[in-house]
Amino acid sequence: MTATDHEQDTDRSTPSRRPRRVRGAIASVISVFGELLITAGLILGLFVVYSLWWTNVLADRASHKQSDEVRKHWASSAPKGPGKLDTKDGIGFLHVPAMKNGEVLVKQGTEDTILNEGVAGYYTKPVKSELPQDKKGNFTLAAHRDGHGAKFHNIDKLKDGDPIVFETKDTWYIYKVYATLPQTSKYNVDVLDAVPKESGKRKAGRYITLTTCTPVYTSDYRYIVWGELERTEKVDADRTPPPEIR
C-alpha cells in the first residue's frame, strides 16, 4: 500500500465510520457465501470421485471375496450329477471377452444392495428370469455401467456374433449375441420376456439378456443385448475354458 492510499483511507474513515462497518458486514456475508459455494463445488467434485472410483474399489473387493468363496465351494463339493445351483452365494460366472472385464459373478436379484457389490444379478422381478439350465426361456441379467464395479461398462462394445459365456459348477453355456438395443425406455420390461419380441425372435428358445443403463454416467435409458444359446460344454476336471474365452 502506498503512502497516498493510506492517507486517502484515513481521510475517508474519520467522517464515515458507520457506513464502513456496514460495508464490512456485507463484505463478510458475501465472503461466507462465496466460501460456501466453493465448499459445495468441492463436495460435488468429491462425489464424482466417490461414484466413479471409490465405489469400484469397494465393489471389486466385495466381488473378489464372494467369487473366491463360490470357487472354493465348487471345488470342495463332490462332483456328482448335474448338481443343484447354489443361488445364495451366486450361481456362476459371466465371461464376455468383448467387454474385457474378466469374469463377473452372477447372483440372484437386481436390488441395489446386490448389484452394488460388483456383481451381475438375474431378475426376480418384474419378470422372473429363467436360468441357463432351463429347457426354454430368457436368462436376464443387470449390472452397473459406472461405479460399483462397472461390470457392464463396455456393453456397447458387444457386436452381433460375439460370445457370452456363462460358467456354472459343471457346465459352460456359450451364447452368441444376435441383437442389441442401444437405447430403450427404462419401463420397457418386454425386453425381459421369455421370447423377447423386440430382438426379432418369435419362437421359444434359450436366450440371454443383458441390461444396463445408458448413456454412460447417467441412467436416462437402458441398453439391451440379446444372445442365444449356441451350445453347452461339460466342465472338465481342469475347468478348461471353451475356445471362445481362451
Partner 1 sequence: MYGWIWRHLPGNTWVKALISLVLVLAVVFVLFQYVFPWAEPLLPFNDVTVDQGMAAVR
Which residues of the shown chain bind partner 1 in the complex (CB under 8 A)? 31-32, 35-36, 43, 46-47, 50-51, 54, 110, 112, 115, 123, 125-126, 142-148, 152, 184, 186-189, 191-192, 211-213, 217-219, 222
Contacts 24+ apart (CB under 8 A), 232-241: 232/171, 232/172, 232/173, 232/174, 233/171, 233/172, 233/174, 234/170, 234/171, 234/172, 235/167, 235/168, 235/169, 235/170, 235/171, 235/172, 241/95, 241/165, 241/167, 241/172
Please list, in sequence order, all residues whose beta carbon lies within 8 angstroms of the beta carbon of residue 103, skipping any fewer than 6 positions away.
67, 93, 94, 95, 167
Angle at 112 between CA 206 and CA 150, to 5 degrees: 75
Q: Cell triple for residue 40?
A: 459445495
- Least distance in Å: CB of 10 to partner 1? 25
- Least distance in Å: CB of 86 to partner 1? 23
Alpha-carbon gap, residue 224 to 201, rounded angstroms: 15
> Judged by CB, which is closer to partner 1: 106, or 142?
142
> Judged by CB, which is closer to partner 1: 91, or 224?
224
- Least distance in Å: CB of 146 to partner 1? 7
- Least distance in Å: CB of 216 to partner 1? 11
> Judged by CB, which is closer to partner 1: 169, or 222?
222
149, exposed or middle or buried, with CB in 10 Å at 0-12, 13-18, 19+? buried
- Least distance in Å: CB of 21 to partner 1? 18
SS3 at position 79? coil
Q: What are phi and psi of 166, to 5 degrees?
A: -115, 125
> Judged by CB, which is closer to partner 1: 33, or 231?
33
Number of neighbours of residue 79 by Cβ within 10 angstroms: 11
- Active-site residues: which are they? 213
